[in-house]
């Protein structure tokens, strides 16, 4: 099969036309199904236990996406799959809006959210495959920070913007009407995005269906993935590189909102939204872009240890905030921005390692395996993080998170990545 490296490389700005929007639309259904759905059901008076039980199962779809990735790899092109899955979100969101006024809205919406999750996971497989097949290694490195930043931007703007929109619209249209309007806006975003990507996504020579039947391809893909040199260390890297940060992620917003009498900072929703959604996002974007460009300039190996430090050291921010409980809002925003910058910069090493691990004949399927394992790693860290916080309190919990960052350095020391991987050709001396 031809590879992107066999084709003349287009200018980097060509890829910049579609990579940010592609990964924004990759992140948006994830946040709608896993987070916006919780706010929707809570607004419509569904009980907390029922919400948690029903929506928690949705995350498993993304963890299991490798099971059908050989089918995506063997049928049609990644470009067509990507556009089709984006277009499929439109009727799903419209049907959710139509189901909301009915007495059986909960059952209908959960079913439709499962459809959305499946379409989203399939889109992940195809979009990630197109990214790897349509771009040479150096451009993948240069844009990996931009790509991960816009994925996370979708999460933040989805959970913040869509929920805020539902609240504002609900003041005029009622709760159900507000959510119907919100789902309609989300559907329009996907309609525009699918039309745009039908035009701008690259047509890569390497983007062709695999010749062998999907079952045979799937068996061979599994065999070759787990036969990769150093796969044991690679799996440890996926599980532990972000272990501390994954443990922390679910508790940041509760910490900021909780009253000072219980160890939090007592911020309002508006203050949290600005600190995380404006200052934090801006710093995350800058960190992610600079991280991608750093790897593009010098290679993943050269930046592995600085990125380990950038990812984990800023967690000291939360140790300080929980201990000092400062009242200066500009100081709080600045420290949250510092932590977001470090995360954005350091996370690029993680994403580039997944691309490195997936390299080879079955790179689309292997990348789906890697990102599915990434989703499981997040679940493993987060499923008990709330209980840990309640046991330790905020001060003790954030100190415990620092302990959990140690495995990040251990796995970074264990992995062996070629010095030239991710580096621009002009730097390779060839």
Residues with Cβ within 8 Å of 147's Cβ and at least 6 positions away in sequence, in order, are 19, 20, 22, 23, 131, 292, 351
- Indicate yes or no: pTM above 0.85: no
Quote the CA–CA distance of 113 and 263 in Å, as a whole number: 36
Residue tagged 């590189």 (tokens)? 241
Quote the CA–CA distance of 298 and 87 in Å, as a whole number: 38
Q: Which of 125, 142, 120, 128 is nearest to 15 (CA)?
A: 142
pLDDT digits (tens, 9 = 90+) for 251-282: 776 788 778 988 989 877 567 767 776 787 77
Residues with Cβ within 8 Å of 396's Cβ and at least 6 positions away in sequence, in order, are none
pLDDT of residue 282: 78
Handedness of CA 19, 20, 25, 27 (dihedral sign): positive
- Domain 1-211, CATH homologous superfamily name and number: MFS general substrate transporter like domains (1.20.1250.20)
* Mean pLDDT on 305-325: 94
Residue tagged 């787990």 (tokens)? 226
Backbone dihedral region of 381: left (phi > 0), alpha (psi from -120 to 50 degrees) or beta? Answer: alpha
In the structure, what pLDDT confidence band is assigned to residue 250 with cuts at 50, 70 and 90?
Answer: low
Quote the CA–CA distance of 211 and 100 in Å, as a whole number: 44
pLDDT digits (tens, 9 = 90+) for 103-159: 999 999 999 999 999 999 999 989 988 888 877 766 777 777 778 778 878 877 777
3 has pLDDT over 70: no
- Domain 213-430, CATH homologous superfamily name and number: MFS general substrate transporter like domains (1.20.1250.20)
CB 153 within 8 A of CB 286: no
Quote the CA–CA distance of 365 and 346 in Å, as a whole number: 25
Specify the higher pLDDT residue, 47 or 369: 369
What would the two tokens of residue 132 be?
Answer: 């790897």
Q: Do 1-211 and 213-430 share a fold?
A: yes
Instruction: Say what the alpha-carbon torsion angle 320, 322, 328, 333 is, to the nearest 10 degrees.
Output: 80
- What is the Cα Rg of the chain in Å? 21
Number of Cα atoms under 13 Å in the Cβ half of residue 158 = 27
What would the two tokens of residue 273 be?
Answer: 């939204």
Main-chain phi, psi angles of 408, to 5 degrees? -60, -45
In the structure, what pLDDT confidence band is assigned to residue 36 with cuts at 50, 70 and 90?
Answer: confident
Residue boundaries of the structural domains of the chain: 1-211, 213-430
264 DSSP assignment? S
């Amino acid at each position: 099969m031809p590879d992107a490296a066999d084709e003349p490389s287009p200018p980097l700005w060509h890829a910049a036309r579609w990579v940010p929007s592609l990964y924004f639309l990759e992140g948006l259904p994830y946040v709608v199904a896993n987070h916006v759905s919780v706010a929707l059901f809570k607004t419509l008076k569904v009980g907390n236990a029922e919400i948690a039980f029903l929506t928690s199962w949705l995350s498993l779809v993304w963890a299991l996406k490798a099971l059908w990735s050989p089918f995506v790899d063997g049928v049609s092109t990644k470009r067509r799959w990507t556009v089709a899955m984006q277009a499929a979100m439109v009727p799903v969101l419209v049907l959710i809006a139509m189901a909301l006024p009915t007495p059986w809205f909960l059952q209908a919406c959960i079913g439709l959210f499962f459809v959305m999750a499946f379409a989203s996971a399939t889109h992940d497989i195809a979009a990630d495959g197109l990214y790897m097949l349509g771009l040479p290694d150096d451009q993948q490195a240069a844009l990996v920070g931009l790509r991960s930043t816009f994925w996370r931007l979708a999460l933040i703007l989805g959970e913040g913007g869509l929920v805020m929109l539902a609240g504002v619209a609900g003041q005029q249209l009622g709760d159900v009407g507000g959510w119907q309007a919100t789902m309609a806006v989300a559907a329009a975003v996907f309609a525009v995005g699918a039309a745009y990507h039908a035009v701008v996504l690259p047509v890569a020579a390497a983007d062709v269906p695999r010749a062998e039947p999907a079952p045979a391809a799937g068996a061979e893909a599994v065999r070759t993935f787990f036969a990769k040199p150093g796969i044991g260390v690679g799996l440890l890297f996926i599980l532990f590189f972000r272990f501390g940060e994954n443990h922390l992620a679910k508790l940041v917003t509760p910490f900021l909102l909780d009253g000072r009498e219980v160890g939090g900072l007592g911020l309002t929703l508006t203050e949290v939204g600005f600190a995380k959604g404006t200052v934090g996002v801006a710093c995350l974007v800058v960190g992610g872009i600079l991280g991608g460009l750093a790897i593009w300039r010098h290679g993943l190996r050269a930046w592995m240890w600085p990125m380990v430090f950038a990812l984990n050291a800023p967690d000291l921010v939360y140790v300080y905030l929980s201990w000092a409980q400062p009242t200066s809002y500009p100081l709080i925003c600045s420290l949250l921005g510092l932590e977001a910058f470090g995360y954005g910069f350091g996370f690029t090493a993680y994403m580039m390692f997944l691309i490195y691990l997936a390299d080879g004949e079955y790179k689309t399927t292997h990348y789906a395996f890697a990102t599915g394992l990434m989703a499981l790693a997040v679940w493993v860290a987060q499923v008990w993080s709330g209980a840990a916080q309640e046991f330790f309190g905020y001060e003790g919990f954030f100190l415990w998170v620092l302990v959990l960052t140690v495995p990040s350095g251990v796995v970074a020391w264990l992995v062996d990545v070629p010095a030239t991987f991710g580096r621009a050709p002009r730097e390779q001396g060839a």
